[in-house]
Chain A
Amino acid sequence: MLRADINELLTQTGPKTPMGELFRQYWMPACLAEELPEDGCPPIRLKLLSERLVAFRDSYGNYGLIDEFCAHRGASLWFGRNEEGGLRCPYHGWKYDTTGQCLDVPSEADNSSFAANVKLTSYPLVKIGDVLWTYMGDPATQPPLPEFEFALVPPEHTYTSKRWQQSNWLQAFEGGIDSSHVTFLHSGGLKTDPLFKGAKGNEYNLNDTKPFFEVADSDGGLFVGARRNAEDGKYYWRITPWVMPNFTMVPPRGDHPIHGHFWVPIDDENCWAYSFDNHPVRPLTREERQAMIDGHGVHSENIPGTYRPVANMDNDYLMDREAQKRGEYYSGIKGIAIQDSSLQESMGPIVDRTKERLVPADSGIIKARAKLRKAALALRDQGITPPGVDPAHHHVRSAAVVLPQREAFLDAARDDVKVKPGMPVASV
């Protein structure tokens, strides 16, 4: 169980909360680059860490993330006109640039300095890879830009999607470091999903339903090792890195692209699951990219024009009891991402962790919660910069390796969990 006060601490990420302040130490995905496809395109509304914001790309190509509401009388700037060099509120014509600076208040006299004194809250918005990243903390402590491999490889090597999840970020994230559910919930996908199937490691996964977990600290968070039996007295290790606070990677399978997630709080009852695939050595094939677009692997099929999955809470995730019975999908739900979201959303928007019953297979989750709590309190009480802020901490990879029994997983695989640009991942 988790004490009620700690459950609140870890799940509340609004302004001035300890976890909210922790999240505001990091660069994280604000939206996909495809959402602002060209200079002067329509603005988008988005909520992050319980703050309502508008993202836009001005006529010169500058990206901005500013308070959603006009400083005048609080109308939403989503209705705004994206004009030359700024977003103009259609109510009374106040106009703002990408830094939130008011440029024009048409009702004022021509020589008025009124507009110069009006500035909306704004955060930087930077394109790296397929993602627009923001930093919502104190400008004085803004860290260098993030260096996650999936965003730095050539564009043809990578694909990122996102989906709205109707649950708190923590229960979504906890699924990302919990390898033991894969053998059950995703067992159908291991055999049939075009982005998963065919790897030797899948056999170890399916044959050993009682993985042993070992957790090791990393500079930026943790490596969670899940050990299953392989042949000849060897062990199959699936190593999941977590970079604080909300980046996880899935251990690879064969030569398939390597994938992972960012779990970004929208507010305390909703989050974005960003799902990426990348191949460090070669471009994604046409078939792989199409499979990702179609919602295979870690991706989801979304309602066109939105980031809400087609299979969602309102239609019971298109539950198929016949497929469940046949074993085609273990839970009766199609697709790896929706298999996860259906169960995580079923817990309620913020699961009551005082009622949970943890087992040794949850050791990664226990350790991650402890690290999050310690980092949030150390930041609040002593101003200590948390792990994962330093871009050097981002240079991690997941790995799936067969190791001799007597070797400690991280000693044997230390090189395998580091990013080596252009070099293949360690995967069976």
Chain B
Amino acid sequence: MIYVGDAGQERIVDAAAGETVMSAAVKNGVPGIIGECGGNASCATCHVWVRDEFLHLVGTPGETEEDLLDMGVDDRRDGSRLGCQIALSDELDGLTVDVPPAQL
């Protein structure tokens, strides 16, 4: 999958099905994604903007995630998700997300 930084630089990471957007980023040292709470939708430090073309594939935020996106991130957009709540699958091959500049 692909993480895009604030200057448009792409970071391509190989991830296995079952990992999450957060865990794959943390494992590969992608800047701006921290995952402080370990993937429990508690800390909102893995916020990403999912690119439009993938939005229909990743589903919608759960209730707690919704609360955190509402209150715990600086720049919520239509594609805002917590990386820890998106489990990767074959279907999501090539998933592209932007890392909000405020987190970098």
B38 contact set on A, CB distance < 8 A: 360
A-B contact count (CB 8 A): 45
Q: Enumerate chain A residues within 8 angstroms of B42, measured Cβ to Cβ.
A: 358-360, 362-363, 366
* A-B contact sample (16 more), CB < 8 A, given A358-B43, A367-B64: A1-B44, A1-B72, A2-B72, A3-B71, A6-B71, A358-B37, A358-B42, A359-B37, A359-B42, A363-B64, A366-B64, A366-B67, A367-B67, A369-B71, A373-B70, A373-B71
Q: Which residue of B lies closest to A4 (CB)?
A: B74
B-chain residues with CB within 8 Å of residue A360 when the two chains form the complex: 37-38, 40, 42
**Residues of A within 8 A of B (CB-CB), count:** 15
Residue ID in chain A nearest B66 by CB atoms:
A370
| Chain B residues in 8 Å Cβ range of A2 | 71-72
Return chain A residues, CB-CB under 8 Å to B40.
359-360
Any B CB within 8 A of the CB of A73 = no
Query: Does B21 belong to the interface (CB within 8 Å)?
Result: no
B71 touches A357 (CB 8 A): no
B36 close to A (CB within 8 Å):
yes
- Chain B binding surface SS class: loop
Task: Name B's A-contacting residues (CB within 8 A).
Answer: 36-38, 40, 42-45, 64, 67-68, 70-74
Known A363-B64, A370-B67; contact A357-B72, beta-carbon cutoff 8 A: no
Can you list 29 A-B pairs, Cβ within 8 angstroms, ordered by A?
Answer: A1-B44, A1-B72, A3-B71, A3-B73, A3-B74, A6-B71, A357-B36, A358-B36, A358-B37, A358-B42, A358-B43, A358-B44, A359-B36, A359-B40, A359-B42, A360-B37, A360-B38, A362-B42, A363-B64, A366-B42, A366-B64, A366-B67, A366-B68, A367-B67, A369-B71, A370-B67, A370-B70, A373-B70, A373-B71
Roughly how many angstroms separate A359 CA and B43 CA in the complex, as a whole number?
6
B residues near A362, Cβ cutoff 8 Å? 42
Closest to A369 in B: B71
Q: Closest approach, in angstroms, between the C-beta of B53 and any C-beta of chain A?
A: 28
Q: Give the CA-CA distance A367 to B44 in the complex, in Å.
A: 13
| CA–CA, A358 and B37, complex, Å | 7
